[in-house]
Structures are given as C-alpha cells and as structure tokens.
C-alpha cells in the first residue's frame, strides 16, 4: 500500500464520519452507491488490467527504450504524442499503459507528452463525443490551438528535469 492510498482511505473515512453526523442513514446510502459503482467499473477494470498485462508482454523494453527512452531525443516526445492520441478508452486503459512504458524505460518527457496528448486528443473521445455533439467547427477551434501543448510539455520536462 502506498502513502497515497492511506490519504484516500483517510478521506473516505472522514467523509463517511461527516455523512453520519449529517444523517446517520447517509453512510449506508453512500456505501451502496459506491458498491454499485464498483460493480459497474469492475468488468472494465479487469479488461484494462488484462490489456495492460498483454501490452507488457507484447512490447519489449528494448522497443520502449528505442521509441520512448531517454536516448531517443525528439523521437520519444513525438512517439509519446502520437501514442497518446491513439490510446483508446479512459484512465483504466491509459494509466496502466503509461505504467508499462515507465517500467520499460520511457523517458519522463515522453510520458508527459503521452499523458497530455491522451488528455487533450484521445480519438475515442473526439469521435464518440466531441464531433457528434459539438461539430467540426468546435473541434477544430479546440484542437488546432492546443495541438502543440503535448510537445511543448515534453520539451519543458526535458529542459527542467534534464530528461
């Protein structure tokens, strides 16, 4: 267990106690809602963990170091940028993939480019939500001005942390 896990458990306990003092029946309602969310997320979580395990065995550390490692200079940032755009799904997929990259020797600058790119331009979000709901004009107005952010973030990390 990490120290951050203890923080989350502590916050959960504190909010549960606060809910009890507000109304003694609220903690039971909150626990049922949390259990339902767990049941909703669990199948995705299992699939995401299996996907991460398969990615870990399919992508060699040498490949990660070649494309995303410290020695690959500019290529690592651009590869992280493209990988972030192409990573499907939510955080249950992207964070485990990023952990595989990290454990495989990816540079910090490539990881920041990856996460920033995934956050801003994940194709599933663009295709499934943004384009149908907001249209092409909005999509272009949002994407074009921010397209350089993941690359700039990667280079800033490289400059600040000598990555």
As a whole number of angstroms, the distance between CA 156 and CA 77 comes to 11
Q: Please report the pLDDT score of residue 79 as a whole number.
A: 96
* Bridge partners for 58 per DSSP: none
pLDDT digits (tens, 9 = 90+) for 101-158: 999 999 999 999 999 999 999 888 888 889 999 999 999 999 999 999 999 999 999 9
Q: Is the separation of the CB atoms in 111 and 102 below 8 Å?
A: yes
Q: What are the structural domain ranges in the chain?
A: 1-58, 60-163
The owner of tokens 């609220």 is 26
CA 6 to chain centre: 21
Angle ∠(27,28,31) on CA atoms, nearest 5 = 85
63-107, pLDDT tens digit by residue?
999 999 988 789 999 999 999 999 887 887 888 889 989 999 999
d(C-alpha 35, C-alpha 40), whole Å: 9
């Amino acid at each position: 267990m990490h120290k951050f896990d203890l923080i989350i458990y502590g916050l959960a306990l504190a909010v549960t106690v606060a809910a009890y003092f507000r109304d003694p029946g609220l903690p039971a309602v909150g626990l049922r809602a949390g259990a339902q969310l767990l049941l909703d997320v669990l199948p995705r979580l299992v699939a995401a963990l299996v996907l991460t395990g398969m990615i870990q065995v399919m992508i060699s550390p040498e490949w990660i170091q070649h494309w995303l490692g410290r020695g690959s200079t500019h290529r690592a940032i651009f590869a992280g940028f493209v990988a972030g755009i192409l990573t499907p799904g939510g955080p249950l997929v992207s964070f485990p993939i990023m952990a595989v990259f990290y454990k495989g020797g990816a540079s910090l600058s490539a990881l920041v480019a990856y996460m920033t790119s995934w956050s801003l331009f994940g194709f599933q979000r663009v295709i499934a939500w943004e384009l149908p709901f907001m249209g092409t004009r909005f999509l272009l107005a949002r994407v074009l001005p921010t397209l350089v952010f993941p690359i700039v973030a990667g280079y800033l990390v490289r400059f600040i942390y000598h990555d």
